Every structure is written in C-alpha cells, then in structure tokens.
Amino acid sequence: MSNETGRPAAIDDEIDVRQLLHTLWLQRKVICVMALVSAAVGLGMAQLSTKYVSEAVLQMPQKKELSDSKKEQVEGMQVPIISAANYKRYESVLLTGANLAKFLQRNSQASPDSLALLEPLTLNPVGLREAIRPEFSFTDKDQKALGVKSAAIDPGAMVGLRLSIDSANPTQGAPLFLLADYVRDTILRVDMETAIYDGCLQSQTQAQTLRVEQLKDEFKFSQEERRAKTLRGLVSLTPGSQDSRQVVTVDKGSERFLSPSAQLNASEITMSELRLAQVNRERDRIASALKQAY
C-alpha cells in the first residue's frame, strides 16, 4: 500500500506493554489454574516414571582363589564353579520363566511384595534376561583404558552374575535376595541332575560289566566241573593215582603231566575260587542296581 505521493505507508508494529499487562491481569485466574494443572501433571509423571533399581553381583567361587584344602573340598563336593565356557548350560535353565515360576511356588512363604515383583518375570523373557546377566572381569582393553594391569586378574573371566530388580517403591533389596536364592537353587539343581545322570550311567555300565564277567565265570565253572568229573573217573579207575607227593611245575601247560589226583585238587580249588568270585560279583551287582534305582 502506498500514499498519494507513491511512498510506502509506515506500519505501526509497536507493542503496548500496559495493554498486555492489563490483559494478563484480567486472565490471571486462568493462567494460575493452567500453571497449577501443568505442575501437577509434571509431578505425577515424574512420580510414575521414577524407578528404584536394586543391583548386586552374585560372585561365584574361582579355582585360583581357593587353597589346596578348599580345592579338595570343591572337587569332592562338586561346588559349582561357573566360567564363561560352561555358563551356557546354566543360562538356558536360569532364563526359563517356567523354572522361575516353579521356584516361586515352592517358596510361597516369601515376602508377598518380592513375589509380586518376580512373578511378572516368568512371562517376560526379556525382563528375566535383564534381571540376570553374567558379570565379567576386566578385559585387556579395559585394563589399558583404565591404566590397571594386574597378573591376578584373568582377562574376560566370569566373576559372577549381576542381578537387577526395578520397582516403583523402595524394597530394601528383599526381591534381590529371593532372586539370588533362585540362581543358587537352579545352579545346584543343574549340577545335581548332571551328577545323578552320570552316576546312573555309571551304575548301568557297571551292572552290564559285572553281568558279562558273571557269564564268563559261569562258562569257565561249567568247563572246570566237566573236567573235575572226568578226573574223578580217572582217579577211581587208575590204581595208585592217590599220590600224596607234591609236584611243582614251572612251565605253563605242564600241569597235564601231574597225577589225576593233583589235577582234581587244582580243579576243585579253581571251582571254589569261581564260586567265591560269583558271590562277591553278585553282591556288587545288587549294590549297583540299588544305587541306580536310587
């Protein structure tokens, strides 16, 4: 727009502060209400989004940290020593929601709040994986970055499991203790099932070995019995075969040149030893069968 002289008209863009303040003063109630509502919404969202996180590292025994007596105790009792190499066989059981659900059912006397926090993890594989994570020691790269170098630190070694629980209210770590009990219980169960399975296979193998040896001795006993029967006939038919002199042979296979009476005595002794071995072997077989059934 231009005036009659052809020059552009001046635009009035000034702000009247008094008029603006007057308008704000008139709308002061609406502004206060909106400010209070916004503050309340912000506070509520902050409270709802606030989480209390409980974390801990459940350390596992390491072989290098044990004395000689402790090592003997660990090897004898088969205390679980988890490393990065054998963690996989525990991981599949630990991170199965059904196993956690069974554990919570067995521990129904635990704190209701702890049970309420852990029960959703039975149906949330991702949450369960976040709650139980392997914890590793410094790697070579970490040691160089932090300027720490120690021969006592095994790079990449698994030192334990990091347990983490999120909650809307403070829990004093109670659900964390229950989760640690689940981890220990699961690890011991896995090791015990493995030991029982190995023991069962060992008992089966031992029973089969004893049965094979028993069959071999039964066949050998039948042969000696027939041999003794033949020798008894020879002793009864051969005059002077009842020779009480002892003959010592050195060469193997020369026993056939002994008198029938001496051979009969050797055969009787052999059959007696076979009977005793069969009795001992049968006892071992019964013990192995009872162990396998147990």
Same domain, 282 and 222: yes
Same domain, 55 and 190: yes
Q: CA 176, CA 192: separation in Å to the nearest integer?
A: 24
Same domain, 129 and 234: no
- Count of structural domains within the chain: 2
In a domain, 9, yes or no: no
In a domain, 12, yes or no: no
Tokens 């403070």 found at:
170
Other Cβ atoms within 10 Å of 138 Cβ, number: 19
pTM for the model: 0.56
Same domain, 232 and 276: yes
In a domain, 102, yes or no: yes
Same domain, 185 and 210: no
Which of the two residues, 42 and 114, has the higher pLDDT score? 114
In a domain, 20, yes or no: no
Q: Which of 196, 213, 234 is the last residue of a domain?
A: 196
In a domain, 15, yes or no: no
Q: CA 82, CA 91: separation in Å to the nearest integer?
A: 11
Same domain, 223 and 130: no
Same domain, 260 and 156: no
Q: What is the pLDDT of residue 267?
A: 80
Lowest-pLDDT choice from 111-115, 125-129, 176-180, 290-294: 290-294
In a domain, 277, yes or no: yes
Same domain, 285 and 151: no
Residue 72 has pLDDT above 50, yes or no: no
In a domain, 288, yes or no: yes
Tell me the residue range of the domain where 281 lies.
199-242+256-293
Same domain, 54 and 182: yes
Residue 7 has pLDDT above 60, yes or no: no
Same domain, 70 and 172: yes
Residue 206 has pLDDT above 60, yes or no: yes
Q: What is the pLDDT of residues 129-157, one digit of tens each?
A: 988 988 877 656 656 665 655 555 555 57
Q: Sorting pLDDT into bands at 50, 70 and 90, what band is 103?
A: very high
Same domain, 229 and 284: yes
Residue 251 has pLDDT above 70, yes or no: no
Same domain, 215 and 135: no
In a domain, 29, yes or no: no
Q: What is the pLDDT of residue 158?
A: 77
